[in-house]
A = this chain, B = another copy of it.
């Protein structure tokens, strides 16, 4: 049965950082270097980027306080058996992986009535988790395979990239596909495609890279052969984003043009693992970009490189620098590159009569970001980022 072979046995890790960083263990530092996606990765220092995928048997103490709901299964409604259709979530296992139909809700859109980046990131997390649920492997509490559990291994995310060509609008129905694949010898990829249900056109693409960590030593681990045997049958070759050599993100320092300091996680930034969630990272990055730029531009791409978890007690600084190779400093001879960077806005500028120089005088189209936590002796990198932007087209204002 073809459909069967496309259920995926892998957990997905919601990208987050732990709130427990007070007791730093020196053993947790300077983890192994691993080869992922064909290029050597930098040393990764992540303590407990643990998965929530396995929390199918969530214990909620308040459930039975009145005695009228005795069985958690009745309430939870998370599939714990392998299944192909989830009518409540409008999800199903397809040849491409897992597909879920989603309606963009009123509170998921911003002032321009299109889905916010935060909403899109949330939907990526949600569909990935639902994909794992459909696989029926969540009984162990972490979503790890039997081979992973035996070896005390968990998944941690090291990189995430999202490209958004068109933001879905309020009320729009989209289909989100997600699937997993190999990433180098020891890693896993999880990809996503967001498509218009009406036209099938791709609105957004995303890919993420995951590595295994020994839960006890907190060191990154090679993938044991028995785990490879378990999970590799579910890998797909297909890629949402073609990228042969992942772009490197430079490390910013205190000379960065924009900086916001003293950022502190709030209670509402914590997710069900009591970790600061990934969406908050992105919000912090955006806050360092000048409002004037944000008002006239729309994010078309973001890359996140995770370095270490940040804790609820961390004091975070968000640094941001317009890219040297952005449109500001591009020469006239690099039309094609400019066009890639600035996308459709470039063409529209020309049409509007501003010409090429009009575009060149615009704010730069790319930013490099760094979130870092104030350390006792030195600052510690949490996540590096790269954002790409295109000019907003004029929208009809909402007349009140």
Contacts and interface: CB of A to CB of B under 8 A. Distances in A.
B111 A62 contact: no
Given A65-B344, A88-B101, A272-B398, A267 B291 contact: yes
Interface stretch (A37-45, A53-61, A185-193): A53-61
A110 B270 contact: yes
B169 A76 contact: yes
A55 B399 CA distance: 10
Interface in A108-159: 109-114, 116, 118, 122, 125-126, 129, 133, 141
Given A75-B172, A77-B198, A59 B396 contact: yes
Interface in A380-400: 392-396, 398-400
A167 interface: yes
Interface stretch (A1-9, A279-287, A330-338): A279-287
A196 B75 contact: yes
A63 B78 CA distance: 36
Contacts of A267: 110, 286, 291, 294
Interface string A157-198: 000000000111111110000000000000000000000101
Contacts of A59: 395-396
Contacts of A116: 268
Contacts of A294: 267
A230 interface: no
Nearest to A168: B75
Contact of A58 (B55, B113, B129, B270): B113
A64 B55 CA distance: 42
A266 interface: yes
Contacts of A113: 55, 58, 60, 272
10 contacts: A55-B170, A59-B395, A74-B196, A75-B168, A88-B101, A107-B125, A109-B271, A110-B270, A111-B270, A113-B272
